[in-house]
Amino acid sequence: MNDIAGIILAAGASKRMGRPKQLLPVGEFNLVEMVLQEAIQSVLGTVVLVLGHESDAIKRNIRPSLVHHHKLKIIHNSGYKNGMSTSIILSLKIVEKEYDQVMFLLSDMPYLSASIINHLIKGYWESGSDLCALKVKKRRSLPVIVSRKYYPDMHRLRGDIGARDLFVKYANEVSFIEAPEAYHDFDLDTPEDYEEYLKTYTTET
């Protein structure tokens, strides 16, 4: 029960991007493959990918070595239009019997790595806290870890509300784990974000 389950929220319609951002190409991968690969390579005990909008197309474009990995379970949230809370509740039902902790990740953070995930997990265990978040440039960021203590709260979420509300409601109970200085918690919401990221990616590669 000491393992942590990773939940990757990827059910949204990417309205601001204008196309499924999960499938944005980055080198030989697409964005969701990059995040999946890092989550699978981390010390997370299992990884649940929650799809919704264009889920069939997205799943078809994830390479088989990831789709069939023993750590990964892909689920479809048919109620994704009712907000992020539906993805949280659906995925929690999958893992809550076996896992006392869950980590929430987003599928549109291209700089997320297995080392960042492991860094947060190490800090979580050392903190002894039930709520833990990565801290980037003096602000709360993602991923976050939530213990079983708050599962009932998550089951009561409604609409387009995520785990962020827990961190506001129980602010005094949160431990923050400082991210390495080089880490960018940049997420891709718009075509401009994507173009900006590609410039950096091309420079780095």
Q: Could you give the strand order of the β-sheet that contains 46-51, starting from the edge strand earlier in sequence?
A: 72-76, 46-51, 4-10, 101-106, 139-147, 131-136, 174-178
Architecture of domain 4-204: Alpha-Beta Complex (3.90)
Q: For each of the chain's 205 residues, which pLDDT tens digit applies?
A: 569 999 999 999 999 999 999 999 998 999 999 999 999 999 999 999 999 999 999 999 999 999 999 999 999 999 999 999 999 999 999 999 999 999 999 999 999 999 999 999 999 999 999 999 999 988 999 999 999 999 999 999 999 988 888 999 999 999 999 999 889 999 999 999 999 999 887 656 5
Q: Kindly list the domain boundaries of the chain, sorted by start residue.
A: 4-204
* Tokens, residue 7: 């939940």
Query: What are the angstrom distances between the C-alpha of 88 and each of 6, 57, 149, 169?
Result: 11, 22, 15, 17
